[in-house]
Amino acid sequence: MKSREIRSKITDQAKLELSIEKIEVKKPVGSEVLIKMQASPINPSDIGLLIASANPTTLKKIRGAYPKVAMDIDKSHLSFFAKRLNKSLAVGNEGAGKVVDAGKDSKHLIGKIVSVSGGSTFSQYKCTDSFNCIEMKKGITSKKASSAFINPLTALGMVETCKIEGHGAIIHTAAASSLGQMLVKICNEDKIDLINIVRRENQVKLLESIGAKYILNSSSPDFMRDLIKAILKTGATIAFDATGGGQLTDQILTAMEFATSALEQDSPISVQGYSPYGSSAYKQVYIYGGLDPSPITLNKAYGMNWSAGGWLLFPFLTALSQERLEALRERVKKNIDTTFKSTYKKTIGLEDVLNPKYMKEYLKTGTGNKYLINPQVKNIKK
Ligand SMILES: NC(=O)c1ccc[n+]([C@@H]2O[C@H](COP(=O)([O-])OP(=O)(O)OC[C@H]3O[C@@H](n4cnc5c(N)ncnc54)[C@H](OP(=O)(O)O)[C@@H]3O)[C@@H](O)[C@H]2O)c1
């Protein structure tokens, strides 16, 4: 059967082409299921593949059998995209829909709403192994189930990483994000101290309303003082930074160093209360997003016992035991309409994704600005 799906291609002529193409979908066999996709969120990670660094103000329609638009991309960026040059790529990391057909081992899922991950979710139909799906509880709609993988498992993964690496509390940036709101609830449930860093006063209020205890505004002149105080109270030595640019990683490491040195005057590497190598507490910042495209600045005023590196969901999940992964998926399934609830600003159709009016909106990645696609709909009524 055929399915209409969104494709993104960067050409060697420095154009990014977005199109909707009809693709043959295979019949499910064995443990596979065929899902009629009904809701797929446009997450920040989807935008990276969908639009890359193209300039939406240069968008032009291209005549042809299927809807297609092209935008300019800076020629100097082409080497960065060498691996995807002239390749038409399916888009969409997660979503949800109804199982309409299944191989012999997954027949029990027919008629059920499932959440799914693993690519090509901006598509009318998706055939995949049922392992890539979470069967939803009765009464959960596709809209509610649409963000059950990426943000919930990442937020849970942060808590797992904190525990595995032996840290006492967590610092999180861009903390009013959909993911950040889930992390607040998880940490409250698991009794883990969480320091939330946001950049606007209304985000402080939003996080207060869902039970966050430590909320710091990076725009405040007292930010560094407040951050050090919060670390002294909680002992946080691990941070997850979604901004991935500018000074925030450096500020966090600096504050961790200040607080941990103050706490360990009799550290084995200190002489008379001072060590040129910094505190003996290991300080870790994981950069897991790129919301700030500017370079990261590290002033290195935190001795030698620290690390800043990337954190990515799928390698993390791959390293987990099957049993632990199943426990995390079960927790998401059980709490999909509470702890792991996501909200959306608007639901649009497949062709709306190519419409500059909606593109301008869904590219904003602001608090409460997430868009959902219903791939069964061409366009929403104007
Ligand atoms: N590494 C992984 O495996 C992984 C997995 C899942 C998610 N992620 C990342 O997690 C992050 C959050 O995803 P989401 O879906 O929860 O996002 P979301 O709901 O779209 O929210 C984005 C948030 O980021 C804030 N923000 C945007 N630009 C910012 C900047 N330059 N500095 C500070 N804050 C900024 C926004 O606040 P304003 O309203 O102030 O703009 C908003 O609160 C994204 O970066 C995503 O790529 C990574």
Residue 304 has pLDDT above 90, yes or no: yes
228 in any annotated domain: yes
Burial of 79-88, coded b for 16+ CB within 10 Å and e otherwise, reads eebeeeeeee
Look up the CATH number of the domain holding residue 8: 3.90.180.10
Can you give the CATH number for the domain in which 181 is found?
Answer: 3.40.50.720
User: 235 lies in a domain?
Assistant: yes
Q: Which of 268, 284, 317 is the last residue before a domain boundary?
A: 317
How far is the centre of ligand 1, averaged over its atoms, from the C-alpha of 49 (Å)?
16
- pLDDT per residue as tens digits for the range 188-237: 999 999 999 999 999 999 999 999 999 999 999 999 999 999 999 999 99
Average pLDDT for 316-325: 96
Residue pair 111/99 in contact (Cβ under 8 Å)? The answer is: yes
Q: Is the domain of 186 the same as that of 227?
A: yes
240 in any annotated domain: yes
Each residue's pLDDT tens digit, 353-366: 999 999 999 999 89
Atom of ligand 1 nearest to the CA of 242: 45
* Averaged pLDDT score across all residues of the chain: 95
Centre of ligand 1 from the C-alpha of residue 144, in Å: 20
Are both 92 and 205 inside the same structural domain? no
Q: What is the pTM of this model?
A: 0.96
Nearest to 64 by CA among 5, 111, 19, 126: 19
142 and 284 part of one domain? no
* 378, pLDDT greater than 80: yes
Verify that 117 and 243 share a domain, yes or no. no
| Residue 112 and residue 173 share a domain | no
| 143 shares its domain with 159 | no
Q: What is the pLDDT of residues 57-116, one digit of tens each?
A: 999 999 887 899 999 999 999 999 999 999 999 999 999 999 999 999 999 999 999 999
215 and 251 housed in the same domain: yes
User: CB of 175 closer than 6 A to ligand 1?
Assistant: no
pLDDT at 66: 84
**Owning domain of residue 54:** 2-147+342-374
Q: Does a structural domain hold residue 379? A: no
**For residue 44, how far is its CA from the centre of ligand 1 (angstroms)?**
7
Task: Confirm whether 331 is domain-assigned.
Answer: no
DSSP 8-state secondary structure symbol assigned to residue 123? B
Query: Partners of 8 in the beta sheet?
Result: 18, 89
Do both 24 and 142 map to the same domain? yes
Task: Verify that 257 and 313 share a domain, yes or no.
Answer: yes
Measure the CA–CA gap between 47 and 180, rounded to whole angstroms: 19
27, 89, 97, 26: which is closest to 52 by C-alpha? 89
Residue 265 has a pLDDT of: 65
Angle at 103 between CA 98 and CA 108, to 5 degrees: 55
